[in-house]
Amino acid sequence: MLEHWRVRTFECFPCIWINPHPCKISLDLFANSFAKGIVRWFRKAGFIYSVALISAALLILAPGEGASEELCFDGSSAFSHLRALVEIGPRPPDSPGAKKAQEYIVKELSRQGLEVREQPFAAHTPLGPKKMKNIIGVVPGQTKGILVIGTHYDTKLIEGIPFIMGANDGGSGTAVLLELARCLEGHDSPLTIWLVFFDGEEAFVKWGRDDSLYGSRHMIGLLNESGEITNVKAMVLLDMIGDSHLSIESEMLSTPWLKRIVWAGAMKLGHGKHFTDNACRIMDDHVPFLEQGIPSIDIIDFHYGPGSRTNEYWHTVQDNLDHVSPISLTIVGNVVLESIPHIAEHIAGD
Ligand SMILES: [Zn+2]
């Protein structure tokens, strides 16, 4: 993917490995002891007295808005999607791998009961015409206003390096969106959510306006043709978010109020150290949306390598399962879920 201009960098704090499901585990333990407590109450106290106390406890413990989605995201499930994509092999546009990836994404979205829309198109590339396809999973909302949560699923084609598996670049965002599909099914939001899987993000020869971002540019064209562009209220892009040493950049083209919401969500969930103030300017699938005046954010870690300040694994055979983590997928997935109601609230207030 993408060109970037690094403006300034700061030392990253070392990542701290945490349990991917701390809330679930602690809730399980709590539920166990809570159940034993209930039995003791029923033995010692009268039935009506016990029911009243239990009801009060459940009211106090009821999760707030967004909390149920926070608990929903399963890093191991997301990682199983990632593994399945990597096992397909390289997935550059118009390849057997791309076709298998498309079938996998459609199957998984359908399995979650989402309406699936496919956008096949022919792209003119420096290597000739290529068949590409965007895929959209639709989560209905209370209004026609649309929040796009996007990623790209294609992998980089480099002559002489046939085995770029794209575990992080192409795989990680796709895996998180497929797990989000499971969490968001039946989600009651003011905004309709489109989970968008873009094809053709990567350049074939040299990164530039005409050789990159094929899928997102095509989608913007269709939205303008249909007039539906006015319904798209915001765009959240996930790219390269699976690095075992997760360090999300502050991407400078991204819309400031979206960055504030996402960074606040990360802080609230205790993931603030992974969302840094390292400033980067990155051309990615959010740019065609920004050019239409649609508030957009690119959530990206452009330091993919053995240290916190290198990008050595990017577009190499090292972009494999050894260098990505279900914990990183969980962190980003939960931060996105935490951010959705706040994004909807901001849009409603405009
Ligand atoms: Zn790439």
pLDDT digit string (tens) for 257-283?
999 999 999 999 999 999 999 999 999
State in Å: Cα 216 to ligand 1 middle: 15
Could you tell me the pLDDT band of residue 154, with boundaries at 50, 70 and 90? very high
Domains recognised in the chain with CATH numbers? 4-349 (3.40.630.10)
Interval between CA 170 and ligand 1 midpoint (Å): 7
What 49-57 contacts at long range (C-beta under 8 Å, 24+ apart), as own/partner pairs, is none
In this prediction the pTM is 0.81
Contacts of 272 by beta carbon, 8 Å cutoff, 6+ apart? 263, 266
Question: Distance between CA 214 and CA 199 in Å, rounded?
Answer: 7
Please give the distance, rounded to the nearest whole angstrom, from the Cα atom of residue 162 to the centre of ligand 1.
Answer: 14
Task: Give how far the C-alpha of residue 239 lies from the chain's centroid of Cα atoms, to the nearest Å.
Answer: 8
Q: Residue 8 carries which side chain, given as an amino acid letter?
A: R
Question: What is the DSSP code (8-state) at residue 161?
Answer: B
From ligand 1's centre to the CA of 166, what distance in Å?
8
Would you state the pLDDT for residue 17?
A: 28
Query: Which among 57, 13, 53, 17 is positioned nearest to 276, based on CA atoms?
Result: 13
Q: Can you tell me the distance from the alpha carbon of 312 to that of 249, in angstroms, rounded to the nearest whole number?
A: 17
User: CA–CA separation, 183 vs 4, rounded Å?
Assistant: 33
pLDDT of residue 71: 62
User: Distance from the CA of 315 to the center of ligand 1, in angstroms?
Assistant: 6
| Residue 125 alpha carbon to ligand 1 centre in Å | 16
Ligand 1 centroid to Cα of residue 56, in Å, is 52
Average pLDDT over residues 216-236: 98
**CA of residue 169 to ligand 1 center, whole Å:** 5
> Which range, of 12-16, 80-84, 180-184, 218-222, averages the lowest pLDDT?
12-16
- 313: Cβ–Cβ under 8 A, 6 or more apart, which residues? 168, 304, 305, 306, 319, 323
Q: Is the pLDDT of residue 51 over 80?
A: no
- Ligand 1 centroid to 202 CA: how many Å? 6
95 three-state secondary structure: coil
CA-to-CA distance for 196 and 176, rounded, in angstroms? 12
Q: Provide the percentage of residues in the chain whose pLDDT is more than 70.
A: 79
Type of residue found at 26: S
pLDDT value at residue 35: 39
CA distance 120 to 132: 6
- Specify the higher pLDDT residue, 188 or 342: 342
**In the chain, which ranges are continuous DSSP H helix?**
22-44, 47-61, 67-72, 75-88, 96-111, 171-184, 214-226, 256-268, 287-290, 326-349
Residue range 81-86: mean pLDDT, rounded: 97
Distance 85 CA to ligand 1 centre (A): 15
- CA 267 / ligand 1 centre spacing (Å): 28
Position 284 pLDDT exceeds 90: yes
C-alpha pair distances (Å), 38 with each of 26, 46, 62, 111, 263: 18, 12, 17, 37, 40
Distance (Å) from CA 23 to ligand 1 centroid: 33
Near ion ligand 1, which residues have CB within 5 Å?
1, 156, 169
